[in-house]
Every structure is written in structure tokens, then in C-alpha cells.
Amino acid sequence: MEQSLADQVVLITGGARRVGAAIARRLHAAGAAIAIHYHRSVQDAQALAAELNARRPMSATTLGGDLLDLKVLQSLVDATVARLGHLDILVNNASTFYATPVGGITEAHWNDLMGTNLRAPLFLSQAAAPQLKARGGLILNIADIHGMRPLRHHVVYSPAKAGLIMLTQSLARELAPEVRVNAIAPGPVEFPESGLTEEMKQAIIDKTLLKRRGSPEEIARAALFFAAEAPYVTGQILAVDGGRSANT
């Protein structure tokens, strides 16, 4: 792959597994150095860093931390710069996702879902802004089509992702012209590891126009577009959802 991101440094939250790992691999293949943030997935993060460093030595590092702890966020930026030299791209990918039907919502649900999906991206973006401004950088948020169209029984998650979409547009205004800020809104790509039957998954897929599940690699390709091929694009939300959002 063309080294379109040579000399670029990327910090990816929740970068050890699933969509985050696919983005890490794709941007690394384009020449970027990658800081892989993880919370509990330490072994996955270390394995991914080893894989990337085997391809290009000293091009990946791991950073642990709970994004709900605001003190961690500045340390992630500082550690990225200390280890990899600077910071060009922040990918706010980490997310919690589960149902919260009305009648069973707790304060802990609110703090967790709003914290990982909205509060952490805001404060991490704020911490990263000076570095990104100095480098003419990019913030890329991983949102969700259900931030634009609510998902039944996800009464906290959907508003949190809606907030992330508005945060994307707000930060695009606040950080321009030095920093671009965009978001990807995936459709059915990675289902939660529990809570959905195969019949439920198929019903979700059937609502897409393309009648198939997406892949993490398709989200990663969109991330590469924003990182390497879209210098005149900011404040935009790209639905990568097989046409689900158009299927009214």
C-alpha cells in the first residue's frame, strides 16, 4: 500500500480488538505509527503491537487506561508524544454498547454509556488539540447510525452517539482551520458478543439495502479515506451502513 501516512502518528482508543484493530492495521499499512489504547484487552493490544512492529520496527506502542478517569486522558496524549514523537490523528473508537430499556436505567448505565461514547471523546480531543493544531491534524470519531435514528431499548446509548455526532460538528467549528474533525457512522458491522440471537442479527442485516453485514475492514477503509484522501473535508458524518440509514 502507498505510504500516504508516512511520518504520521495515530492514537486509537479501544484499538486492540474488532473495528479499532482493523483501523490500526489499515493506517499502519499506509505508513503511520500507531498508539494502541486499551482498557482490559492487554493481551490483544500487546499482540497487535507485536504484529505491527514485526512489519516495521518501533512503529507501534500500547497504552492502558480507563477512559472514564479524566486524569488518564492527558496521559494518553503525553505518552503518545513521548514514545512516538508527536500526534497527528486521534481516533475516538472506544465504546460501550448495551440495552437500557426504560424502567431499568440506572445512574451507572448513564455514567458508563455517556462516559465512553461522549465524555471521553470530548476531553481526549481537548487534551490532544494543541498537538493536533501544531501538526494540522485530524480527529475521527466512530459514531453510529443509531445516533441519527434511535435503536429500540437503547435509550442511553443512542443519545450518547447523537451527542458524539454533534460533538464532531462542534469541534470542527472550534478547531478549524488547523484541525479537521469527522465521524464514521457504522451500521451492522460488529455485533455485541452477547445478547443477540442469530435470528435477531439477521433481522438487523435484512434492514440494510445491501442485505449483508459489513466488515471492520470496510470501516477501516473509510478511516483511511478521512486520514489520507480528504484534506478538504471536515464536520462530516459518513454512514458506512450498507444503506441502512436510507432504508426508511
Just list the catalytic residues: 157
Q: What angle do CA 84, 225, 146 make, to 5 degrees?
A: 100
DSSP 3-state of 133: helix
Residues with Cβ < 8 Å from 118, sequence gap 6 or more? 160, 161, 163, 164, 167
Going by C-alpha positions, the residue among 56, 51, 45, 54 that lies closest to residue 5 is: 56
Q: What angle do CA 142, 222, 96 make, to 5 degrees?
A: 20
The 3-class secondary structure across 169-212, one letter per residue, is HHHHHHHCCCCEEEEEEECCCCCCCCCCCHHHHHHHHHCCCCCC
| Burial annotation 212-223 (CB, 10 A radius, 16+ → b, else e) | ebbebebbbebb
C-alpha distance from residue 123 to each of 27, 31, 92, 140, 171 (Å)? 23, 27, 11, 14, 11
Rounded Cα gap, residues 228 and 43, in angstroms: 30
Residue 54, Cβ neighbours under 10 Å: how many? Answer: 10
Rounded Cα gap, residues 13 and 16, in angstroms: 8
Rounded Cα gap, residues 63 and 196, in angstroms: 31
